[in-house]
Structure formats: C-alpha cells, structure tokens
Amino acid sequence: MAISMNPSESLAELRLRYYADLVESGGLGPAIFAVAGGRQGELGGFVEEVPLTASLWSAAEFASPRGAMRVNLGYGVRRFAVALDGHGHVWASGSTPSLSEVVDVLVSWRQGVKLAELRAGSSFMEFDRLSQAYEDGNPREVQWDILIEDDAFLMYRELLVKLREEAGIRELFPYFSHWTLRLPKDHQDVQAEEILIRPVAGEEGFDVWSSSAPERKSVFRTVDEVVRSALSLVGEL
C-alpha cells in the first residue's frame, strides 16, 4: 500500500511521527546502543564517518570482521534498512520497523552467524546465491554459472560457456556492465586490469580489448576467435 506524505510536513515532524524514540536518543546510532543496552560491546565500534550524502542522525555504520554493517532510515514509513557489506559485495540486506530486530542482526553477524542461520533468526534479511558462494568460498565458479544460466545474457551464452572451458580464463571473475562483459583478475580491486568484450554495434561479432591497452581493440567474428583473443590478453592482467 502506498504511503501518503504531507508535503508541508517538516523533517522534524516526520521524525517525531515515525521515530520519536530516535529523537529522544539523539539519532540512529545512539538509539541502537540504547536498545542494545548491556549488549553494546557486542556491536563493536560505531563508525561516525558515514557517507557525506547521509545524515549522522539517520544513518549508522558499525564495524565487523566481515565488513561494514550499515543501517539507514526509511521515509514516509517507519523502516530500518540493514545492509551487511562485504569486501566488494553485499552479504545480506533487509528492512524492518523494529529497532530491536536490527540489534539482533548486528550482534549475530558480528558473532559469526552463517547466512542461513541469520535468515532463520531474522526472516526479513535476504541474501542471494552469490552471497552464499562467498560464504562457501567459491564465488568465481558460481558467478560463471549465474551468468551462463541468465536469459538476459542469452546472446553471450555460447561465448561464456567456451570462455569458462579455458583454465586461464575461468579463474577470472565475469560480470556485466553497460552490456560489456568484464573479466578482471581481482574484482574486489577497482583498479585491477581487465579484459573487456562487447558486441559490435549493428554487426555480428565482438570487440575484444584489455583495459591496459584500449587502443588495441580488435573485432572478431566468431566465438572461437574471441576466446583465443581473450586468452592472449590474460598475461596482461
């Protein structure tokens, strides 16, 4: 059901309407600690350096061995959005109107609970197949499967299958951005060199190049040629 908001309602009025407990505590972070009570130490350190686009009043971040734990407020309805960030991916996310449920998630995650256990105890938290793969230690293998099985990338399917057959390429982490297949050696390093493959506009075939030498972009008409070209570029990563 859509939530109607009064355009004349001030931010202060909205806070009192949906988050009177946060107003009393002085913001989201202090309110979480207040609800945690004697469990404050289990939450770890509160990181005040939240993104500049967020207000310290309405966003909180906590440290965990597996990455940052972030909480943000919803607007127009009482809602706490929780995101458990990994190193380059999101482990799990969800939202709830209950601040005590948020505390349960944060404490459990810092104590090392597994994803399935987390969802069993906090049903509003969701995670995907790739998150489970990170927990299991095989994200590359699963990512190849996910892309190959995805009908959104049907025109790439034959190429993806043949690329994965090559030992030098299946160790890379494939993902798509702007309809371009990207194959970095370390997908958690935003500066990592990568192989890029993109369909030729209006024609059959693919452009293939390396981010380290974009001027050497070449066009290949067959899948086998694309695979051979990609293999020749692996050594540049």
Q: From the CB of residue 151, how many other CB atoms can be counted at a distance below 10 Å?
A: 6
Beta strands in the chain (DSSP E): 46-47, 59-62, 69-73, 80-85, 90-96, 175-177, 180-184, 194-199, 206-210, 213-220
- Average pLDDT over the chain, rounded to whole? 88
pLDDT of residue 2: 39
Q: pLDDT for 179-202, tens place per residue?
A: 999 999 888 777 889 999 999 988
DSSP H helices in 49-195: 99-110, 115-121, 129-136, 139-149, 157-164, 167-170
Predicted TM-score (pTM) above 0.75: yes
Is 172 a residue whose pLDDT tops 50? yes
CA distance 167 to 141: 12
CA distance 208 to 219: 6
**Which band of pLDDT confidence, cut at 50, 70 and 90, is reported for residue 27?**
confident
* β-strands 194-199, 46-47 pairing: unpaired
CA distance 182 to 171: 13
